[in-house]
Structure 1
Amino acid sequence: MKTSILIAALFFSGLSFAQEKNSDTLKTKNIEAVVLTKPVFKKQSDRFVYDVAASPVTKGNTTFDLLKQIPILSSIDDKTLKIAGKNNALIFINGRKTNMDAESLVQFLKNTPAENIQKIEVISVPGSEYQVESSDGIINIILKKKMSDGLSGNMRMSNSQNKYNSSSASFSANYRKDKLGISASLNGSENIQPQSFILRNGTDLVKNESVGDIDDPNKNLGGYLNIDYQLTDKSNLALSWNSWANRSYNSTIDLLNTLQTFDNSGNVLGTQYTRTKNKENARSYNNSVNLNYELKLDSLGSKFNVNAAYLNYKRFQNSDNNTMLPGLAGDFSQTGKKIIQDIPQVINNFSGTVDYIQKFKNEFTFSAGGNFNTTKTDNDTHNFTYNYFYDPSGDLEKIETQSEPNHFVYDEKIYGAYLTLEKKFSDKFSGKVGARYEITNSLGTSDNAAPEYRRIERNYNNLLPYLSFNYAVNDKNNISYSFSSRMRRPSFWEINPVRNYITEVNYTQNNPFVKAASTYNQELTYMYKNSYFLILNHSLLKDMITQVPLQGFAKSTDGTISEQNVLRYIRTNFGDRQEMSAMVGMQKSFFKQYLTMNFNVGVQHNINNGTLAVDPTSGDTFLDKDGNPLVYTNKTNSTSFVIQTNNTIRLDKKKTWFLGVNYFYVDKQQIELGVLKDLMSLDLSIKKNWNDWTFALNVNDVLRTNIVEIEDYQANGNYNYIRNDQYRRGMTLSITYNFGNQKVKKVRDIESASDDIKNRTR
């Protein structure tokens, strides 16, 4: 609560700026009225550009809400963003990839007002100059920067209600004086993230079911500070600092577990009940600093760029996992098993990049550069297991204890170099070709783990080509094609060999043996009148890194077989996968801009080819009740449809009232864990602009249809079912106030030195 009170004080202290209605402000409003006639969404040679200043949905929205309304972007879980045809979208701010972990990044985007943004670039197939992995695309958010001296900014407060109530607040300021520019933001929020689960797994002879709730309280505080100083007419120095802190204390899991056994005729032989009651306390800190120097070499745009960056990420997690027995009274008062875990994660990264860009008068561009990253992670994990035994009268008889320490240290060094050649052959045709060469040397060591964990060494040498061209047939028609190859290194948390328990026999398992995967992407885009588009995409993923369910009676390498059927969700390399998609869409205003519509419909075809029989972290195999080996296989193809539409309706001539109607539908599709059933959501909003104030009311998932269900049936009789309700139906009321002179210009794009590291912390 202290976070909200602090920012609320800043909110109301800024009201004095309401009197600053000078002639510059009036001129700005006139300019904005003209900007609305420009194309909001357009295609450039290697990217889509969304002009935020020309969009009627910007004012009063958050950055996350705005991103969801860009034609080729989507979010079905309200936590992650996806570019059409891509697995993941990396967030860049002013050309620099954000250093935040996934949860902190979502909170940052949801607490940053959209008024802070000048434009958004979507780069679906990044060139060789970008340090990205796999089939990742880039969303580059260009923040506003003042044209004239003075101070401007905004403040926003919101309150949301779904299962629980939550609040957030933000304060942003932008200051310029002569050659010095400073922008800063402070964001805070409090919320409880609720979930309800139904987990079922087993065979024809054994069935496990866990039903219950997870509540995860969170307090977040963070922000950024950007300083840009013009040293000379040709050189600039910029310093950026991003910080975020999260505290999640008293996160709880409460599940009722039912274990049933059956005979071959389907008759119940026995039923056992237990209760899982887990409690977790966690806190994380994310701090990053980036120093950039840019030297302009000529009037054509040639430049020399140097970056140095440092990242420090810390997460401390303590959990108390309890399996409760019914006891004599059937009240689950007896502890059967307790697992106490201490799981810290510390990441330190230093990186540097050098870029040289030379432009020639014949519209030829030569670019070359290199990067170096060194990362060290230190994870000193401790597991303590207590087994409780009771006599027939219910009294505690004895406790057996076991300790499992694991100090895992991971060192990684990445050397990279790239070369690109770009040529504009005519007003209609341009092309770009390039390549990256990357060397990765890594070593994971553990002094007190099993022998196979003590030294894990990986070395990769990869040549990654890139090709693209853009052909403007005429003023109305544009065609572009891109090809790229990338590698996907495992995230740092994926290779830390720890377990996260859901129940005693149901847990996720990280894997230090995961190796890098390769991805090959192709994309063909056609755009008409900067309003209508067609995107064809193909991706081939080899040695794909994913999470795979293995279940059965676990047989260890010494021949011991578990007494219960277990389910392990294991990170591993799981064969190959092809993804093919086609999407048609439009972004256009109708009826003199009373209606702004963003609509797209697409089809995606997935070809899966993966098999796993052995737990790669332990060597365990899995048996059915009769002792027959069990193998998890996913060689299924699936075709699914996607529909998304975002509509903004202007309700009055003065452009002060707006109604929003947004809807998406995702058809069922085959994923690694099984068949993901269809999802849909209807979201409504009403917004009122009054001078420098914006009042907005949003209602999400009106029909309460955005609930995840995954179902998987194997030929050997194994099945796995997950139903996860995250209570996405909710209502949010927000108030935003803009103060000061709002005249802005584009900020200088700065690419971070640690671009290939940051996403792997989440």
Structure 2
Amino acid sequence: MKRTLLSIALIFGTFAFAQEKKTDTTKTKSIEGVTITKQVFKKQSDRFVYDVAASPVAKGNTTFDLLKQTPLLSSTDDKTLKIAGKNNALIYINGRKTNMDSESLVQFLKNTPAENIQKIEVITVPGSEYQVESSDGIINIVLKKKMSDGLSGNMRFSNTQSKYNASQTSFSANYRKNKLGISANLNGGENIQAQTYTLRNGTVDTSNESTGNIDDPNKNIGGYLNIDYQLTDNSNLALSWNTWANKSYNSTVSLFNTITNGGKTKYTWSKNKEDARSYNNSLNLNYELKTDSLGSKLNVNAAYLNYKRFQFTDNRTYASSINGEIGDKTTQVFQDLPQIINNFSGMVDYIQKFKNDLTISVGGNYNKTKTDNDSKSDTYSFDPVGSKSAPNHFIYDENIYGVYITAEKKFSDKFSGKIGTRYEITNSLGTSDNAPTEDLKRIKRNYNNILPYLSFNYAINDKNNLSYSFSSRMRRPSFWEINPVRNILTDDNYTQNNPFVKASSTYNQELTYMYKNSYFLILSHSFFKDAITQVPLQGYPESPNGNLGENPVLRYIRTNFGDKQEMSAMVGIQKSFFKQYLTTNFNIGVQHNINNGSLDTDPTTGDRFKNKEGDYIVYTNKTSSTSLLIQTNNTIRLDKKKTWFLGVNFFYVDKQQIELGMLKSLMSLDLSIKKTWNEWTFAVNVNDVLRTNIVKIEDFQANGNYNYIHQNQYPRSLTVSLTYNFGNQKVKKVRDIEGASDSIKSRTR
């Protein structure tokens, strides 16, 4: 249910607004507290760099809170981080992708003290050496290097009140003794994700409105164990294990439906219940060998990933009166939707540094993935009496081979550049035991791609800097997107996954100008070919054999929907004033979206849709929009001892055209106050004070069809947290290793 509902309004990734943290430590040493006055924020050839250690906002914050307050990065849901113009932000630690699934990664960031961070690097256009998809960007968190032996850690407790109450707790420990380093984390919590929906669609002759509530209870537990051993002065061996479990039982949807067709109106209730649980375990082995004193090194990774999700739904429809009284049950649909993913991955990278400031990187990777989806769907009708069973065992095998080479050169103190390319081969086969059509029984795809990359950086003088980047990327569909199942909301309203979705291509360009390491201008352009998105098809469905449905339906279908372009211009400032009593990040920009897509056939069934007059209906989105984006994050120090801080954050996103229609404007005002006392930190956060961060999408087609979505996820919340740091805070952090399976893991969610 969680995935179903999010897929309907998964529009946050379409904004080009987002904020990101960046840090540099080239001029800092080991720091106790926040005593440095020099603040560094600059642009290198392929990344932004921001000095966290010199920032007054670090003390007592979590890493997640710190990231949300930095230039070019934001979170609209307090769960995901977005970089400006990027659909997603991948988290790296010390140059290696974190070997965690998305939910445990968020908990890790929310429970890691920001005092541990030396710098944060933001790579808006990643080079060929990175395994990223589409327009993904990278946040690289560089931890302070602490050499002392001993034990350190922290405990954190938090409680959040929104529509329902939620609690979270975590315990982290880090131990180092001579050549051995061990770090571990255990965290857990429970919450109820609440949403209120209004879904309205129809034509000039028909209409369907569904209004109601969704409650999704969750209990989570997870953690990680990292062991790092220094074999010799030049070699290290590391083992990482990450685990996460989620239980969501008795998740409910209760929607009151008003259906008008041919001048007649009927009322029904949709009462859906879901029990789901998921498990994500990954194991990674890493070997690193330094080959010379210049920094050349060899990295070898091997990883195994196992993901399991078990989902059972009971969808019931009841007759009703205009007053909402529940009558007889008319239909009932049982769905059993398990998914099991197994992945083995290997990765080898070699970096050779030369004395003439030239760096050559070469490497390769291999991913072998098998997903098993043994779905069952049983439909029972009570008026008239009847039943229908639709099992479907869909197995998807995928093999990805990739190699890359990059060359980076510093030509002078002012000019540096980087060039590279990545070559990928993808072989996939999807088979279905009992697919409804012959085309679905065996889906085989083999394709290869050459993905070039280029960037340069020119320091005009001490105050002015200019840089440019270009990259080409692919976006493969997530494994759940190609599992051909329906997720039902009402009898006539459901989402449909699509095994025929193919990989899309993305071409990114970015030009950046910086002044005095504090002011910046970013111009960016992204072109998406065969963009993967969700498209609403509605009307009377006509099957390929000519049978016409009696009632109009609305299907949200995952598919490749034409091409689109995103262009943006953003200016910003990151600076401290009044002897660091005020630290501000301010961004304002304009984004222009151009959509060019159309769809007239359900690609999974071959159904076409007709209106009341019998004419075929085509869903089109060939429109453009220009939007204003504003974001500001401000930290005010309230006392000389640097123990009281006030936070005032605000973002505004103007209305803009997305695939599902016109997304209305969004905004949020967030306030916080924080008190630090020795090793304790107490904080209170109030999010969405004005209750304005609510999704509204409206679409009117030339053929008379319309579609409206109103989604309130109750973003207004009050959070109280308490953090305690213990032990020797100078303990060196265990090496974090990029899991060879990380690029695959991101597609399980």
Normalised TM-score (structure 1): 0.92
Q: Which residue pairs with 2:138 in the alignment? A: 138
Q: Within 1, Cα distance between the matches of 2:29 and 2:96? A: 30
Q: Which residue pairs with 1:36 in the alignment? A: 36
**Shift of residue 748 of structure 1?**
4.5
2:104 touches 2:223 (CA, 8 Å); kept in 1? Answer: no
1:324-383 deviation line (CA, Å, top 9, x unaligned): 112899731411111111111111111111111111111111111111110000010000
Q: Within 1, Cα distance between the matches of 2:337 and 2:365? A: 32
1:79-111 deviation line (CA, Å, top 9, x unaligned): 322111222222234434345554554444444
Q: Which residue pairs with 1:381 in the alignment? A: 375
**Shift of residue 42 of structure 1?**
3.0
1:161-206 deviation line (CA, Å, top 9, x unaligned): 0100110011111111111111111111110010000000001110
Within 5 A, what are the aligned runs for 1:359-398?
Answer: 359-389=353-383
Q: Within 2, Cα distance between the matches of 1:240 and 1:482? A: 33
Q: Within 2, Cα distance between the matches of 1:80 and 1:635? A: 29
Mean Cα displacement is larger for which, 29-38 or 712-721?
29-38
Q: Within 2, Cα distance between the matches of 1:168 and 1:408? A: 37
Q: Within 1, Cα distance between the matches of 2:546 and 2:96? A: 52
**Shift of residue 115 of structure 1?**
4.3
2:228 touches 2:734 (CA, 8 Å); kept in 1? Answer: no
Q: Which residue pairs with 2:404 in the alignment? A: 418
Q: Within 1, Cα distance between the matches of 2:206 and 2:744? A: 43
1:310 touches 1:349 (CA, 8 Å); kept in 2? Answer: yes
Q: Which residue pairs with 2:243 in the alignment? A: 243
1:146 touches 1:744 (CA, 8 Å); kept in 2? Answer: yes
Cα 1:339/1:424, change in 2 over 3 Å: same
Cα 1:33/1:322, change in 2 over 3 Å: closer
Q: Within 2, Cα distance between the matches of 1:89 and 1:220? A: 23
Mean Cα displacement is larger for which, 599-608 or 321-330?
321-330
Q: Which residue pairs with 2:450 in the alignment? A: 463
Report % sequence identity: 77
1:32 touches 1:54 (CA, 8 Å); kept in 2? Answer: no
Mean Cα displacement is larger for which, 36-45 or 476-485?
36-45
Cα 1:415/1:35, change in 2 over 3 Å: farther
Q: Which residue pairs with 1:129 in the alignment? A: 129
Q: Within 2, Cα distance between the matches of 1:37 and 1:338? A: 66
What letter corresponds to residue 635 of structure 1 in structure 2? K
SS in 2 for 1:31: coil
1:439 aligns to 2:425 (yes or no): yes
Within 5 A, what are the aligned runs for 1:91-490?
Answer: 91-98=91-98, 100-143=100-143, 146-261=146-261, 269-326=263-320, 331-389=325-383, 399-450=385-436, 451-490=438-477
Q: Which of residues 578, 582, 593 in structure 2 aligns to 1:591?
A: 578
Q: Which residue pairs with 1:737 in the alignment? A: 724
What letter corresponds to residue 131 of structure 1 in structure 2? Q
1:142 touches 1:746 (CA, 8 Å); kept in 2? Answer: no
Q: Which residue pairs with 1:575 in the alignment? A: 562
- Root-mean-square deviation (CA), in Å? 1.9
**Shift of residue 66 of structure 1?**
2.0
What letter corresponds to residue 439 of structure 1 in structure 2? I
Cα 1:609/1:245, change in 2 over 3 Å: same
2:40 touches 2:51 (CA, 8 Å); kept in 1? Answer: yes
Q: Within 2, Cα distance between the matches of 1:200 and 1:82? A: 29
2:210 touches 2:256 (CA, 8 Å); kept in 1? Answer: yes
**Shift of residue 59 of structure 1?**
3.4
**Shift of residue 754 of structure 1?**
2.3
**Shift of residue 544 of structure 1?**
0.5
SS in 2 for 1:32: coil
**Shift of residue 241 of structure 1?**
1.4
**Shift of residue 588 of structure 1?**
0.6
**Equivalent pairs, count:** 721
Q: Which residue pairs with 1:4 in the alignment? A: none
Q: Within 2, Cα distance between the matches of 1:748 and 1:100? A: 14
1:200 touches 1:720 (CA, 8 Å); kept in 2? Answer: yes
Q: Within 2, Cα distance between the matches of 1:569 and 1:301? A: 51
Q: Within 2, Cα distance between the matches of 1:475 and 1:104? A: 42
Cα 1:145/1:273, change in 2 over 3 Å: farther
1:60 aligns to 2:60 (yes or no): yes
1:94-137 deviation line (CA, Å, top 9, x unaligned): 43434555455444444444445443221110000001111111
Q: Within 1, Cα distance between the matches of 2:432 and 2:146? A: 51
Cα 1:34/1:104, change in 2 over 3 Å: closer
1:166 touches 1:191 (CA, 8 Å); kept in 2? Answer: yes
Q: Within 1, Cα distance between the matches of 2:184 and 2:558? A: 38
Q: Within 2, Cα distance between the matches of 1:567 and 1:31? A: 58
Q: Within 2, Cα distance between the matches of 1:105 and 1:185? A: 11
Q: Which residue pairs with 1:670 in the alignment? A: 657
SS in 2 for 1:197: strand
Cα 1:545/1:744, change in 2 over 3 Å: same
Q: Within 1, Cα distance between the matches of 2:217 and 2:119? A: 34
**Shift of residue 502 of structure 1?**
1.1
1:99 touches 1:311 (CA, 8 Å); kept in 2? Answer: no
Q: Which residue pairs with 1:759 in the alignment? A: 746
Q: Within 2, Cα distance between the matches of 1:115 and 1:34? A: 9
SS in 1 for 2:337: strand
Cα 1:475/1:138, change in 2 over 3 Å: same
1:550 aligns to 2:537 (yes or no): yes
Mean Cα displacement is larger for which, 324-333 or 285-294?
324-333
1:111 touches 1:168 (CA, 8 Å); kept in 2? Answer: no
2:634 touches 2:647 (CA, 8 Å); kept in 1? Answer: yes
SS in 1 for 2:566: strand
What letter corresponds to residue 440 of structure 1 in structure 2? T
1:551-590 deviation line (CA, Å, top 9, x unaligned): 0011111211112110000000000001101111111100
What letter corresponds to residue 400 of structure 1 in structure 2? G
**Shift of residue 271 of structure 1?**
1.4
**Shift of residue 531 of structure 1?**
1.2
1:682 aligns to 2:669 (yes or no): yes
SS in 1 for 2:743: helix
What letter corresponds to residue 44 of structure 2 in structure 1? Q
1:519 touches 1:542 (CA, 8 Å); kept in 2? Answer: yes
Q: Which residue pairs with 2:23 in the alignment? A: none
Q: Within 2, Cα distance between the matches of 1:648 and 1:60? A: 13
Q: Within 1, Cα distance between the matches of 2:411 and 2:656? A: 43
Q: Within 1, Cα distance between the matches of 2:633 and 2:530? A: 36
Q: Within 2, Cα distance between the matches of 1:386 and 1:604? A: 49
Q: Within 2, Cα distance between the matches of 1:522 and 1:30? A: 37
Cα 1:38/1:153, change in 2 over 3 Å: farther
Mean Cα displacement is larger for which, 327-336 or 513-522?
327-336
- Gap regions ≥5 residues in structure 2: 1-27
1:492 aligns to 2:486 (yes or no): no
2:537 touches 2:555 (CA, 8 Å); kept in 1? Answer: yes
Q: Within 2, Cα distance between the matches of 1:330 and 1:672? A: 33
1:699-725 deviation line (CA, Å, top 9, x unaligned): 000000000000000000000000000
Normalised TM-score (structure 2): 0.93
1:701 aligns to 2:685 (yes or no): no
1:145 touches 1:174 (CA, 8 Å); kept in 2? Answer: no
